Amino acid sequence: MRTLAPTLALLLLAGCYNDSATYYADSTQEHRLTVRRQQDYFWSEEGRFTLMAARMPDCQRAIPLGELPLEDTNLELFSDGNNRWSLRSGKQVWHVDTQTCALLSDEGAATGQKLGDFKAEIDQFSFIEAPEAAAPAN
């Protein structure tokens, strides 16, 4: 009975969401942007979102995006080229550079070509490529 109480307490504190979605910037899969969502407690309606920026072997950094709703959250991804990216969720924007491996700013407008969306839904978290990003350039 003594081991049952701590086990039950741990189960109550365990989160339900702990998943991620990835955008691959090149065919080597060594240059990628991954967004993670984590729910600390099962009763929380918001979770911690983190951008994992990687351009191996020179860049690997975790950039906290803050607390966002666990479900029905959309993070739009844009590219300026030259390893510069913008992520937008509502009015919040993060500007990231994978050349210098830095968060440049968390203000201003998203810039560049839209590449797609990181979509957080009830049962899945995925990256959906924008239709115009999938079309070959002429």
pLDDT tens across the length of the chain (138 residues) = 555 555 444 444 445 778 899 999 988 889 999 999 988 888 888 889 999 999 999 999 999 999 988 788 899 999 998 999 999 999 999 999 999 999 999 989 999 999 999 998 878 899 999 987 654 343
**Residues 6 or more apart from 19 whose CB is under 8 A from it?**
36, 37, 124, 125
Q: What is the pLDDT of residue 70?
A: 79
Going by C-beta distance under 8 Å and a sequence separation of 6 or more, which residues neighbour residue 47? 15, 17, 37, 38, 39, 40, 67, 68, 69, 70
Domain layout of the chain by residue ranges: 16-134
Residue 92 to residue 23: CA distance in whole angstroms: 20
Q: For residue 69, what is the enclosing H or E element?
A: strand 59-69
User: Exposed, middle or buried by CB within 10 Å (0-12, 13-18, 19+), for 73?
Assistant: buried
pLDDT at 10: 44
Q: Which burial class, exposed, middle or buried, applies to 50 when counting CB atoms under 10 A from its CB (0-12, 13-18, 19+)?
A: middle
Beta pairing partners, 59: 55
pLDDT at 47: 85
Q: What is the pLDDT of residue 13?
A: 46
Distance of alpha carbon 42 from alpha carbon 23, whole angstroms: 27
